[in-house]
Structure 1
Amino acid sequence: MLTILTLGQALERASRAFPAVPPEVPVILEDIRAKGDAAVFAWAAQLDAFTGGAFEVPAARLKAAPDLLDPALRAHLEAAVRRVDAFARAQMAAFQPLELTLEGMRLGHRAVPVSRAACYAPGGRYPLPSSVIMGVVPARVAGVKEVVVLSPRLHPVTLAAAALAGADRVFDLGGVHGVAAAAWGLAGVPRVDLIAGPGNRFVTGAKRLLYGDVGIDFPAGPSELLVVADGSADPALVAADLLAQAEHDPDALPMLATFDGGLVPRVAAELERQLALLPAGTPAAESLRQGFAVVLGEGPEADADAVTLADALAPEHLELQGPRAEALAGRFSSYGSLFVGADAAEVFGDYGSGTNHILPTSGAARYTGGVSVATFLKLLTWQRTLPEGREALAAQAAAIADAEGLAAHAASARLRAGRSLA
């Protein structure tokens, strides 16, 4: 099950280089760059068994998709959309236009959405309608003019979620070839400004290599969970949450840090028991083998060690179980999303509690948060010089330009000095 590591060994793992892009990814991208649409169709046929003539789902089929759902499932998806929408609208309210006067200048900013965004939802191993909701809803709230969904081996429930969330267009396409099609505008997919959404290491690698041709959110996958728990934590709940992330992908990373060494064998026993109940072929067993547990100890220094470890790992999901762990909630600063208390199950965040489940992985939480309305917004600044500020600003700019040796900059500034505004 989980390998037991010392604190030092776990910190050493956290310091390793960012995962390499799989070598297959640049090969596929270069083939598509050279051959265009034909290569996208060829890779979709080879990797996704795609046999259709077009990737886009007809608008009528998209519109009708929710009506084909089981009514109870539809109601739950609608509730998830409602919650995520409410949270996104509250976030959007924080992005107000700014305007102030500062020493002879009128300055400000405004939040402007990107024009077209692609929201990616994995579809290879499992359909993930929840990921569609997490991408489409904040994009819509941000005001993106056209929101498209990419999902390979498109499942009816994924299509229905796209309709309920408000997607404009949906494409039965994903993987490296799907991301490339959206970045470059190929095979009927419109060229987008931004691609957001989780994916396996191949999709994540493609997004990294295509950044610059297209905007991306951040590395989002494979999944990670760190549970920080004290001795009072229920081992069955800890194990269930670790398995929930482990079943996503063979490369998922389940992690446990505890103050009580006795919790580790209890969790291990629960992992073995619960793993046996999962469907055959689950990747959970494989991902558990690369996961680990750390015993922090009972001493007062262990609290600081827990914070140091978590912030170094910067996990996608961070769970705190038990009073001692929960008391540290305000001290952590690097995670995708935080779940405080045994009842704050990570899966609640996955399925629409309100916060977003598209979150940074591979340590990216050290410098970015998860998907939100801000992902789809550009904060654009503006300025207007007032008459009383012109002379001082001209002198300031010219002096600094001279110091930098940029004569044309200095000349541009000095031309403003002593001139009328007429």
Structure 2
Amino acid sequence: MTRKPRLPDRALQTQVRDIIDDVRARGDAAVDEYTLRFDGRKGTDALKPQEIRDAFSSLDRQTLTDLKEAAARIEAFARSQMQAAESLRLSGSGTGSGTTMLPINSVGCYVPGGRYPLPSSALMSVIPARVAGVADITVCTPKPTPATVVAASLAGATRILPIGGAQAIAAMAYGTADIPRVEKIVGPGNAYVTEAKRQVFGEVDIDMLAGPSELMIIADNSAEPSCIAADLLAQAEHDEDAQVWLVATDDEVISEVTRCLERQLTALPDTRVARSAMVKAQVSVVDTDSAVTIANRIAPEHLELQARNAEAMAARCRAYGSLFIGAWSAEVLGDYCAGPNHILPTGGAGAYRGGLSVMDFLAVRTWLRLDERQAREVLPLAERLARVEGLDAHAKAAGRRLRQDP
């Protein structure tokens, strides 16, 4: 069982680089031109208050209620994360030092608006930033639907810009007359958006380089085959390049899930994308220990454990974007409303980072404050280490305080 490698697309890289360079050179005029070319509209102005009110008015009552409930659940989870983001002070061994957790000043949140607009991504990106204390939050989303506008507003966006693609990333990274520069860009997007984030990293910070959606399910014969099939299809319908893996401890599980998949596929209104992704699905029958080893090697974006010993298995899983333990912990709940974030690492990045959280919007800054007695305890050590490294000026900076060297 393997992961499909990410291969660089040189033509796409060049096209994105040209767009970024053009936006840097010509600002709003370039953004206007690309937005007209790719989205059929012009304008770099943020949505006006009346346009946002119109979006609220056009939304049916149930959808508005649902967005508010999802927002509340996501915010409650983010606030619980903030409890772990505490500043600290260390005193002892002759030192006074500590860390201060401070929010960054400004963030750009990209919210997809293509084949399937994602108002949930507005909630997932903006709410943790606001909870972390970010003062200025820009949302860029192409062809925004009323639901996306309402979600961004409920989440706490400072402004909502109806632009997308590489031109939106470039505008947020470098700033234009109409679009303020941000310090960090977060959120999922298509290949052009992801490549643009890669190219502007360093000018601004980014969250991650998210690729096509991924789901691995580890299941034994206690799992419900129809639920496994439904969860696999839920990921497969995102993208023809979505990657799904089913790791089972029993051949019969594979057979039953395969039968359910075909029945459920025929019931979907549009099967093309899901069927294309499922053709490339990978299945394996192994024991529980091997299943955990596979999961830790693949590091999937989403990892579901539908097995009798799901809790014990979870304790051994070390690499994933988000973990769903037990048959009732459906991945779709993480997509929308359970609380944990759905902006997650893909392409194996789950081996070294988790999903978007309040921590992504906090800068961990250290400080040092010593009086003369405390400093004299450590200055000789600093001076000796500087001489070990051959950095004479460093050594003299320490020595001057000890001996007032000329």
Equivalent-residue separation in structure 2 for 1:390 and 1:418 (angstroms): 13
Per the alignment, do residues 59 and 19 of structure 1 end up closer, same or farther by CA in structure 2, a change over 3 Å counting?
Answer: farther
> Who is 2:21 aligned against?
33
Per-residue deviation, 1:303: 2.3
TM-score for the superposition, normalised by structure 1: 0.91
Equivalent-residue separation in structure 1 for 2:119 and 2:153 (angstroms): 10
Per-residue deviation, 1:169: 0.3
Alignment of 1:12-411 (within 5 A): 13-14=2-3, 18-20=6-8, 23-34=11-22, 35-37=25-27, 38-49=29-40, 51-186=41-176, 188-280=178-270, 282-296=272-286, 302-411=287-396
How many corresponding residue pairs? 402
Greater RCO structure (CA 8 Å; 6+ sep): 1
Deviations 1:295-327 (A, max 9, x none): 11xxxxx22211111111111110010213443
Secondary structure at the counterpart of residue 53 of structure 1: coil
Deviations 1:217-240 (A, max 9, x none): 012231111001012211110010
Equivalent-residue separation in structure 2 for 1:187 and 1:48 (angstroms): 21
Per-residue deviation, 1:89: 0.7
Secondary structure at the counterpart of residue 137 of structure 2: strand
Amino acid at match of 2:206: I
Secondary structure at the counterpart of residue 415 of structure 1: helix
Per the alignment, do residues 192 and 119 of structure 1 end up closer, same or farther by CA in structure 2, a change over 3 Å counting?
Answer: same
Secondary structure at the counterpart of residue 270 of structure 2: coil
Secondary structure at the counterpart of residue 23 of structure 1: helix
Using the TM superposition, name which of 22-31 and 391-400 deviates more. 22-31
Per-residue deviation, 1:29: 2.5
Deviations 1:65-119 (A, max 9, x none): 3233111111111001101111111111111121111322110111111111011
> Who is 1:3 aligned against?
none
Amino acid at match of 2:225: P
Equivalent-residue separation in structure 2 for 1:19 and 1:226 (angstroms): 22
Mapped contact 1:175–1:202 kept (Cα < 8 A)? yes
Equivalent-residue separation in structure 2 for 1:362 and 1:251 (angstroms): 12
Per-residue deviation, 1:370: 0.6
Using the TM superposition, name which of 271-280 and 121-130 deviates more. 271-280
Per the alignment, do residues 67 and 290 of structure 1 end up closer, same or farther by CA in structure 2, a change over 3 Å counting?
Answer: same
Equivalent-residue separation in structure 1 for 2:20 and 2:81 (angstroms): 38
Per the alignment, do residues 21 and 358 of structure 1 end up closer, same or farther by CA in structure 2, a change over 3 Å counting?
Answer: farther
Equivalent-residue separation in structure 2 for 1:76 and 1:221 (angstroms): 28
Equivalent-residue separation in structure 2 for 1:222 and 1:47 (angstroms): 21
Deviations 1:131-190 (A, max 9, x none): 000001010000001111111121111001111111110011112221111111137221
Using the TM superposition, name which of 40-49 and 92-101 deviates more. 40-49
Per-residue deviation, 1:194: 0.6
Between the aligned residues of both structures, percent identity stands at: 44
Per-residue deviation, 1:198: 1.3
Mapped contact 1:121–1:197 kept (Cα < 8 A)? yes
Per the alignment, do residues 283 and 135 of structure 1 end up closer, same or farther by CA in structure 2, a change over 3 Å counting?
Answer: same
Secondary structure at the counterpart of residue 294 of structure 1: strand
RMSD of aligned Cα (Å): 1.8
Mapped contact 1:358–1:371 kept (Cα < 8 A)? yes
Mapped contact 1:41–1:187 kept (Cα < 8 A)? no
Mapped contact 2:194–2:210 kept (Cα < 8 A)? yes
Per-residue deviation, 1:192: 0.7
Amino acid at match of 2:223: A
Equivalent-residue separation in structure 1 for 2:271 and 2:32 (angstroms): 29
Per-residue deviation, 1:22: 5.8
Amino acid at match of 2:282: F
Per the alignment, do residues 30 and 134 of structure 1 end up closer, same or farther by CA in structure 2, a change over 3 Å counting?
Answer: same
Per-residue deviation, 1:380: 0.6
Using the TM superposition, name which of 283-292 and 356-365 deviates more. 283-292
Stretches of 4+ aligned residues off by more than 4 angstroms: 16-19
Equivalent-residue separation in structure 1 for 2:14 and 2:179 (angstroms): 20
Equivalent-residue separation in structure 2 for 1:22 and 1:380 (angstroms): 38
Secondary structure at the counterpart of residue 315 of structure 2: helix
Equivalent-residue separation in structure 1 for 2:180 and 2:189 (angstroms): 20
Secondary structure at the counterpart of residue 268 of structure 2: coil
TM-score for the superposition, normalised by structure 2: 0.94
